[in-house]
Amino acid sequence: MLLPDKVAIINGGATGMGRSTAIKFAEEGCSSVIADINETDGKKTAEEASKKGRECIFVNCDITDLAQIKDCVDQTVKKFGTVDILVGCAGGVPKSGLVKPSQRIERPKRGIQHTDEKFWDIMMDLNLKGHVFFCKEVSPYMIKQKYGKIVLISSLGVFSPPSSAAEYHSAKAAILGLVYNLAFELAPHNINVNAVLPGPIKTPFYDPMMVNMSEKEKEARFTEMGKSVPLQRIGLPEDIANTVLFFASDMSSYISGETLIVGGGKPLPVYREMV
């Protein structure tokens, strides 16, 4: 096993990439805490992961609420004694079920000239601020034990935006700045900090964009998205979970401050596109 007797917090772990990561971690000997506002799916994921042989619990946690973040970390330490790994999967867009009802607002028209302050602030809270404070809360335990792994999910859209979404992509770009800084700051304490940048991955992230589609239409849309990828398929949550496992395990013990694109070959380097 790659994570024997380790303890992880996976925020945004109820569905998608976080769910697959929780199950993968359990298979590798890791106990986990699913931190999410989606109680129904969060408890299902915790139950499924627990069947793999390691205990996994659900903690209701809104990543935009700093008090809930602290409480989640406190509950983790009370239950398991420490926290070895933090995986930051939580995020989304304010129209989706990934956020609490009070934040489900319509996004303004695309384009910087239509940027709305309230929408901007919510996007930053969802996709950046909460991760900063999760790192703040777990770092004292990792520093004390001279061991820790922090893996944050950014987005390929930072470098290769599929559409205009300055609010979302700016927040995800800031995740990279956070990773670079923390990798430098925490390295003397034997704490590795890295980022994963997913390309198109088949997760509930796309639900708000496909709300009026039938299941057949959704599958056709995912198939079409896959055609834009050199490997000619849409990515799966397991593709991200495997990468997160690499960064969370000692296979990557000499890697920190890395930002790894997991996009099926997308984007290809410019020189290859010109050939």
Q: What is the Cα–Cα distance from 87 to 71, expressed in whole angstroms? A: 17
Looking at domain 7-201+236-273, its CATH class is alpha beta
Residue 110: what pLDDT?
76
**Residue 196 has which token pair?**
């994963």
Whether pLDDT at 170 is above 90: yes
pLDDT digits (tens, 9 = 90+) for 12-52: 999 999 999 999 999 999 999 999 999 999 999 999 999 99
Residue 96 pLDDT exceeds 60 = no
Q: How far is CA 84 from the centre of its chain?
A: 17
The ranges assigned to domains in the chain are 7-201+236-273
Residue 18: per-residue pLDDT: 97
Q: Quick check: 189 and 146 in contact, CB under 8 A?
A: yes
Tell me: pLDDT of 101 over 70.
no
Extract the tokens encoding 176: 């990279």
Indicate whether 108 pLDDT > 80: no
Distance CA 189, CA 206 (A): 38
Residue type present at position 71:
D
Task: For residues 11 and 195, give the distance between their C-alpha atoms in angstroms, rounded to a whole number.
Answer: 15
Record the tokens describing residue 230, joined without a space: 């050199």
> What is the reported pLDDT for 109?
74
What pairs with residue 25 in β-bridges?
Answer: none
C-alpha torsion sign, points 179, 208, 35, 8: negative
- pLDDT, one tens digit per residue, over 183-240 is 999 999 999 999 999 999 988 777 767 778 888 888 888 888 888 899 999 999 999 9
Per DSSP, the three-state class of 48 is helix
Pairing relation of β-strands 56-60 and 85-88? unpaired
Name the strands in the sheet holding 31-36, side by side, starting at the edge strand that comes first in the sequence: 56-60, 31-36, 7-11, 85-88, 148-153, 191-198, 259-262
Q: CB-based burial of residue 29 (10 Å sphere; 0-12 exposed, 13-18 middle, 19+ buried)?
A: middle
- Write out the catalytic residue numbers: 168
